[in-house]
């Protein structure tokens, strides 16, 4: 007997080990453009590969998470953030008996549409496109995988499965998601990737903020969740500037959030009585989530991070200068559309110059945009 496991064997293992409400790859709705099944991989494994091998994924390495890309080699980038989200997604999915490959695929794709320069870049693009549909990174992630990435001759997009698109869709508007259909909720795997994103950035943005010296550990006394965890684990926040403490705090925080999500979600799933992945979709409420008390605590942490990190003058100032360059480059494209790339030019007849220029800029890495600004505006 062969020791190799063809796809059918892997699907059988899935069917016998996953919880009934997990999304089985063999029970998926397929792809917009039908393709033959792969010999060794399930459909979600294929989607993971398609995403990882896309140019948009590789560019995440040079896109800002919080700190402008290149300002410090130890800070998270959009790529390392994405890998942390995928890792947390797999942990949550495995513990709940869900499909890890699907959760991982959604996590890997979730930020593909992020513009350069993080949230400031997103706000800038939204402003530049305000009379042309605006800009939202969730919408854009869907646009990247369904249109902008085009490795195939026969069609645009990565032709991902319905279930991965459904997970990426998240809050994306109908405008960007024709044909996906509307359900009350995404699969549990999609819900997991959404929450894993939050867990990752709460803990790693806090750690990066402490590393950068923009957040002082002593100020975390005012954040109930941090103060509580520090007390439980014997961390003295007032003398907590040591590197090990920063690591410990991030680790303890993500552990707590993961643990909290698992226990709360397990309870909600059991109480809901869902028996299939489609029961989950029809269920009126999300089944993956924090307990009400943990939800309150994470909201407080979020507000703290907004007030003390994301809008810290040192972060916001650098990002603002970069965003001014983004706006200038955008203006230059409107003035002379020949400057936008060949692929973007091809899309102008369908989506107009504003959207094509927005897509082109959204796809850029931080450093590419800075160089493009130099090319256009240095008249030396
Ligand atoms: Mg994210």
Q: For residues 97 and 160, state if they share a domain.
A: yes
Q: Tell me, in angstroms, the distance from the centre of ligand 1 to residue 216's CA.
A: 24
Q: For residues 188 and 114, state if they share a domain.
A: yes
d(CA 268, CA 262): 10
Q: For residues 227 and 306, state if they share a domain.
A: yes
Q: Tell me, in angstroms, the distance from the centre of ligand 1 to residue 153's CA.
A: 30
d(CA 344, CA 361): 10
Contacts made by residues 239-242, CB under 8 angstroms, sequence distance 24+: 241/216, 241/217
Q: Please indicate, yes or no, if residue 10 is contained in any of the structural domains.
A: no
Using the 3D structure, point to which of 315, 332, 352 is the last residue of a domain.
315
Q: For residues 193 and 295, state if they share a domain.
A: yes
Q: For residues 173 and 88, state if they share a domain.
A: yes
CB of 83 closer than 8 Å to CB of 138: no
Range of the domain at 347: 316-377
Q: Tell me, in angstroms, the distance from the centre of ligand 1 to residue 347's CA.
A: 27
Q: Tell me, in angstroms, the distance from the centre of ligand 1 to residue 4's CA.
A: 36
Using the 3D structure, point to which of 286, 315, 344 is the last residue of a domain.
315
Q: Which residues have a Cβ under 8 Å from the Cβ of 209 and sit 6 or more positions away? A: 66, 215, 305, 308, 309, 312
Q: Please indicate, yes or no, if residue 30 is contained in any of the structural domains.
A: no
Q: Tell me, in angstroms, the distance from the centre of ligand 1 to residue 167's CA.
A: 13
Q: Tell me, in angstroms, the distance from the centre of ligand 1 to residue 110's CA.
A: 6
What pLDDT does 310 receive?
85
Q: For residues 286 and 352, state if they share a domain.
A: no
Q: Tell me, in angstroms, the distance from the centre of ligand 1 to residue 84's CA.
A: 10
Q: Please indicate, yes or no, if residue 25 is contained in any of the structural domains.
A: no
Q: For residues 229 and 96, state if they share a domain.
A: yes
Per-residue pLDDT tens digits of the chain, which is 380 residues long: 788 899 999 999 999 999 999 999 999 999 999 999 999 999 999 999 999 999 999 999 999 888 777 778 888 999 999 999 999 999 999 999 999 999 999 999 999 999 999 888 999 999 999 999 999 999 999 999 999 999 999 999 999 999 999 999 875 444 444 455 666 789 999 999 999 999 999 999 999 999 888 998 889 999 999 999 999 998 888 875 666 777 888 999 999 999 999 999 999 999 999 999 999 999 999 999 999 999 999 999 999 999 999 888 888 888 889 999 999 999 999 999 999 988 899 999 999 999 999 999 999 999 999 999 999 998 64
Q: For residues 212 and 331, state if they share a domain.
A: no
Q: Please indicate, yes or no, if residue 28 is contained in any of the structural domains.
A: no
77: helix, strand or coil? strand
Q: For residues 365 and 298, state if they share a domain.
A: no
Q: For residues 321 and 308, state if they share a domain.
A: no
What pLDDT does 240 receive?
55
Q: Tell me, in angstroms, the distance from the centre of ligand 1 to residue 149's CA.
A: 19
- CATH number of 169's domain: 1.10.3210.10
Token reading at 131: 């009379």
Q: For residues 201 and 75, state if they share a domain.
A: yes
Q: Please indicate, yes or no, if residue 354 is contained in any of the structural domains.
A: yes
Using the 3D structure, point to which of 315, 349, 367 is the last residue of a domain.
315
Q: Please indicate, yes or no, if residue 31 is contained in any of the structural domains.
A: no
Token reading at 51: 């995403």
What pLDDT does 102 receive?
98
Q: Tell me, in angstroms, the distance from the centre of ligand 1 to residue 82's CA.
A: 6
Angstrom distances, CA of residue 6 to CA of 2, 114, 333:
10, 36, 50
Q: Tell me, in angstroms, the distance from the centre of ligand 1 to residue 178's CA.
A: 23
Q: Tell me, in angstroms, the distance from the centre of ligand 1 to residue 111's CA.
A: 5
Q: Please indicate, yes or no, if residue 24 is contained in any of the structural domains.
A: no
What is the total count of domains within the chain? 2
d(CA 21, CA 34): 25
What pLDDT does 242 receive?
63
CA angle (47, 139, 350) in 5-degree steps: 95
Q: Please indicate, yes or no, if residue 9 is contained in any of the structural domains.
A: no
Q: How far apart are the first and last CA of the chain?
A: 71
Q: For residues 291 and 328, state if they share a domain.
A: no
Please compute, for residue 243, the number of CA atoms within 13 A of its CA located in the half-sphere on the CB side. 1
């Amino acid at each position: 007997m062969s020791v190799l496991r063809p796809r059918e064997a892997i699907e059988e293992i899935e069917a016998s080990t996953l919880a009934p409400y997990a999304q089985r790859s063999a029970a998926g709705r397929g792809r917009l453009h039908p393709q033959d099944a792969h010999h060794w991989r399930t459909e979600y494994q294929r989607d993971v590969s398609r995403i990882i091998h896309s140019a948009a994924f590789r560019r995440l390495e040079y896109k800002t998470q919080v700190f402008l890309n290149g300002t410090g080699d130890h800070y998270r980038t959009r790529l390392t953030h994405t890998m942390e989200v995928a890792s947390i997604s797999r942990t949550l999915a495995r513990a709940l008996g869900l499909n890890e490959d699907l959760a991982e695929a959604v996590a890997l794709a979730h930020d593909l549409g992020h513009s350069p320069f993080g949230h400031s870049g997103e706000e800038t693009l939204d402003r530049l496109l305000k009379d042309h549909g605006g800009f939202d990174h969730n919408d854009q992630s869907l646009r990247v995988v369904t249109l902008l990435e085009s490795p195939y001759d026969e069609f645009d997009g990565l032709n991902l499965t319905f279930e991965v698109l459904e997970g990426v869709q998240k809050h994306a508007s109908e405008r960007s998601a024709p044909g996906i259909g509307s359900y009350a909720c995404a699969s549990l795997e999609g819900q997991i990737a959404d929450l894993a994103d939050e867990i990752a950035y709460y803990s790693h943005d806090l750690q990066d903020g402490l590393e950068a010296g923009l957040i002082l550990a002593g100020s975390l006394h005012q954040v109930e969740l941090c103060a509580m965890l520090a007390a439980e684990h014997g961390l003295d926040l007032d003398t907590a500037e040591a590197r090990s403490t920063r690591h410990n705090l991030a680790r303890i925080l993500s552990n707590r959030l993961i643990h909290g999500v698992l226990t709360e979600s397990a309870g909600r799933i059991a109480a809901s009585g869902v028996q299939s992945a489609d029961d989950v979709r029809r269920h009126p409420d999300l089944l993956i989530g924090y307990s009400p008390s943990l939800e309150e605590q994470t909201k407080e942490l979020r507000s703290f991070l907004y007030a003390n990190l994301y809008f810290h003058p040192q972060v916001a100032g650098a990002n603002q200068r970069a965003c001014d360059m983004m706006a200038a480059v955008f203006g230059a494209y409107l003035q002379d559309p020949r400057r936008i790339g060949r692929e973007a030019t091809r899309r102008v007849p369908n989506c107009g110059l504003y959207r094509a220029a927005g897509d082109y800029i959204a796809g850029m890495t931080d450093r590419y945009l800075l160089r493009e600004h130099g090319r256009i505006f240095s008249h030396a």
